[in-house]
Structure 1
Amino acid sequence: MSWRRAVESVLLRNGLVIDTEPEPVAHPGWDLLIEDGRIAAVGPHLSAPEGATVIDATDRIVLPGFVDTHRHVWQAVLRSIAVDVDLPEYFQLVRQQIGPRFRPEDVRVANLIGALECLDSGVTTVQDFAYARADRIKPDGFVPGFDLDYAEAALDGLRAAGVRAVFGYLLTPQYQAEVRRARELIRPGETLLRMAAASLGPSNQKLDAVEADWKLADELGLPIVTHVASGPVNERPIELLRDNGLLRQDTLYVHGNSLADDELAMIADSGGAVSITPAVEARLGHGGPLIGRLRAAGTTTGLGVDVVTTVGGDFFSVIRAGLLTSYLAPGPHLTPADLLRIATLDGARALGLGDEVGSLRVGKQADIVLLRADDVNLAGAHDPIGAVVSSAHPGNVDTVLVAGRAVKRNGVLLHHDLAAVRAQARAAAEYVTGGEAVTS
């Protein structure tokens, strides 16, 4: 059987199918048909088209791939280097001390192994907030500013992994020609990669700089993704956007723990969305849990890992962090079904991909995950949705499909010499850290 091509028909037979649209629901004994990389039919007792490959999905949970709405994928080679620090220390170590040492080749392998980590835990779509213009150190000294090679290297890593990605390229209005060239790095006809405009945003810039970013994003036809908080430059950043006609639908705000409730409502009213990273936000001190407040405001919400420098990169742990933190602050207490939908369909909608991924609706891309329901930690589960959210882990992920193409099968990532990738990642880690705090 070949799982490597998306052009064949594949019928998953007799799985425990969990869809998330309009709400998560489990269907024991259902089938799912994939044709040309898209979901063609879902339901019981489907007929197999002539020539279709039929896969026995008995003892498998079949669900849409997870959507990680915020991750700095390039930091995969800095795993666990900032576990016991606060946010200012993280910035000093990762952004100021280590970040400038990255070469394009380091970014490429970091994005490759980081994207493979996503796929390994069932994340089929990731929003990569990339520092493609990161300051760097060359043999002849420190070179600040824009460097197109970083963007190209980061995209090459994502492309090689086979993940679906929204690449958040950091806007630099003073380098408009280079930014416009970067817009063309995603090749015509590429369906797995899309670009977004990553801005320093209204919390960290004065109004004129924000307006320049928003104007450039509009000219390039790109959605915006930006970190947001109350300060340090503007204490009411969402109100600033609203009052200046900059509050727009296709904007993803990251974190926002310190925003006032009325600003969360402004985001909801605008049609924007918020990505929360509950594990990182708890560890680095972004503020109190946000998930319940967002639910109360009616704001579209997605989940993200953020940085593996500080927390684990598997998505199951992030889903559980979101569930648990919903009980620690005012606002509605969310259910496991709520979290599964946030991790899939709502995350897709937050990225503007709700019509393409995030559920098992017929016509959507076949981004699908199969979990082994007979593994000891899932066997005999009375509530399959609750089990996925409360008990599953990456070791249960048997198969991952992206646009109908298998990138993981029988619990093993495909298409890569993983030993070689790990060796390249270790070499990059050792280079950028000067050999400090890096283990094999």
Structure 2
Amino acid sequence: MRTLLTGGTVVSMDPAVGDLDRGDVLITDGVITAVAERIDAPDAEVIDATDRIVLPGFVDTHRHAWQTAFRGIGADWTFAEYLVAVHGTLKPHYRPEDVYLGNLLGRLEALNSGITTMVDWFHAARSPEHVDAALAGLLDAPGRSVFCYCAGFSADAPVEERELDRVRAQIPGGLVTMALGWRGPQLTTMDIAAEDLKLAVELGLRTSVHIGSGGARGSRPVAALRDRGLLRQDTTFVHANGVEDDELRMLAEAGATVSISPDVELKMGFGFPETGRMLAAGLRPTFSIDDCPSAGGDMFATLRTAYAVQRGLDGSLNSRDLLEFATVDGARACGLSARTGSLSPGLEADIVLLRADDLSVFPFNNPAGTIVAAGHPGLVDTVLVAGRVVKRDGVLVGVDVQTLKSSLLESRNRIAAAAGIPLDGSWRPPTESD
């Protein structure tokens, strides 16, 4: 089982391998075994990468895929409106089959745009059946996924160990792993947050927690967690807008990771993405899409927003930094750096081939700069996950896209009708400030 990608421009994201103007990548049983200018492998299946950029797949460290059916309707919403609309108005009408379709189509969309690893931060656990359906959607997609299970917005009880064990027992290993969507001090009491984290540690689960959604300046949530001994290196802190400089240093000292959602944070009023402040504190940012009702679902747009904002603020960062955040740093935040994140021999072959001959990027000078400044999903020609080709010649392999799209439309229409909301963007959810 050998595959040879030949003749592409290789952007490895591994300093030991470097970049190659013309290079080959050899894959054996799903693992990268060699990267060089030329590789002789007469027994390998050959994928011609001429006029292609070969790079590691992107890593999305935080997305709520169950909301996929309502793409775009929240483009003009504030965070308060989003909470009312999605969690208060739409979610009560979701059936397990709706969750399944959202997760499956959301994961396929991410894969189609070159995101080979995705953290699905699932917070629509209205019943065990809803949880099972969300996990099934990920298992039925050929991508590398982290099912980040959150018990919901209830603040009156800790997570039940038997429920986590029940969910984890359904994961056979391989491409899908599990984490705990830690409610933390924004969604529950500090005592319950401590109990939840203790259980995650006992079960060996990584955690991801929202901090600073809508701004946190003055509340010092990280310091409160530090004082309770609740900062750990296997926790990813999502957003962290408004968190004080010394608190960011606390996260760095604990070895924690961070996830930035630049489009959502800017549009919903969280504040500027904290990319530069995190770097100054010793943290390596990673990127996330967050939610597709409000933002686009591809990493290219996310990179461009984060890059333009930080350059506008202080002129720092370069395009290579952004690619590192979206690949090697993202893999580290998922606890998967031993498996993915770069084109390094010994890692599993999560690889994307981008068209370098498309008129929107031709001539493809400065690969890293062009990917960040001008990349888009239409360039994604071929995608491999653990050496398996899941997209070839611009088309997902073995996926009945039309049938799935029809099913998702039926799901969307039923939920919208039950909730009594239009889909054209004209509805503004009522909030306390109205």
Identify the TM-score tier after normalising by the shorter chain: over 0.9
CA contact (8 A) 1:67 1:126 kept: yes
Q: Does 2:125 correspond to 1:133?
A: yes
Q: Does 2:91 correspond to 1:99?
A: yes
* 1:56 aligned residue: 48
Using the TM superposition, give the Cα deviation of residue 148 of structure 1 relative to its aligned residue in structure 2, in angstroms: 1.4
Q: Does 2:316 correspond to 1:333?
A: yes
* 1:153 aligned residue: 133
Q: How big is each residue's C-alpha offset from its partner over 1:101-125, in whole Å with a ceiling of 9 and x where there is no partner? A: 1111001111111001101110000
* 2:427 aligned residue: none
CA distance in 2, matches of 1:244, 1:366: 40
Q: Does 2:100 correspond to 1:117?
A: no
1:334-373 to structure 2, matched below 5 A, reads 334-373=317-356
Task: Name the amino acid aligned to 2:48.
Answer: D
Q: 1:311 aligns with which of 295, 298, 318?
A: 295
CA distance in 2, matches of 1:233, 1:179: 33
CA contact (8 A) 1:24 1:341 kept: no
Greater mean alpha carbon deviation, residues 215-224 or residues 113-122:
215-224
CA distance in 1, matches of 2:313, 2:16: 24
1:26-105 to structure 2, matched below 5 A, reads 26-48=19-41, 50-105=42-97
CA distance in 2, matches of 1:74, 1:36: 32
CA contact (8 A) 1:65 1:369 kept: yes
**Count of aligned pairs:** 416
Aligned Cα root-mean-square deviation (Å): 1.8
Relative to the length of structure 2, the TM-score reads: 0.92
Greater mean alpha carbon deviation, residues 269-278 or residues 51-60:
51-60
Q: How big is each residue's C-alpha offset from its partner over 1:294-349, in whole Å with a ceiling of 9 and x where there is no partner? A: 1111112110000000111111000111111212435x711111001111101111
Q: How big is each residue's C-alpha offset from its partner over 1:377-427, in whole Å with a ceiling of 9 and x where there is no partner? A: 122122111111111111111000011111111001111111100001101
Q: Does 2:254 correspond to 1:274?
A: no
CA distance in 1, matches of 2:293, 2:131: 21
Q: How big is each residue's C-alpha offset from its partner over 1:202-253, in whole Å with a ceiling of 9 and x where there is no partner? A: 2333211111111121122101101002877991111112111111110000
Tell me which stretches of 4 or more aligned residues in structure 1 moved more than 4 Å: 230-234
CA distance in 1, matches of 2:319, 2:358: 20
Gaps of 5+ in 1: 1-7, 135-146
Greater mean alpha carbon deviation, residues 112-121 or residues 202-211:
202-211
CA contact (8 A) 1:300 1:349 kept: no
Q: 1:203 to 1:131 in 2, by over 3 A?
A: closer
Using the TM superposition, give the Cα deviation of residue 57 of structure 1 relative to its aligned residue in structure 2, in angstroms: 1.1
CA contact (8 A) 1:24 1:340 kept: no
Relative to the length of structure 1, the TM-score reads: 0.91
Using the TM superposition, give the Cα deviation of residue 24 of structure 1 relative to its aligned residue in structure 2, in angstroms: 9.7
Greater mean alpha carbon deviation, residues 122-131 or residues 21-30:
21-30
Same amino acid, percent of matched pairs: 44
Q: How big is each residue's C-alpha offset from its partner over 1:343-369, in whole Å with a ceiling of 9 and x where there is no partner? A: 110111111111111100101010000
Q: 1:383 to 1:23 in 2, by over 3 A?
A: farther
* 1:11 aligned residue: 4
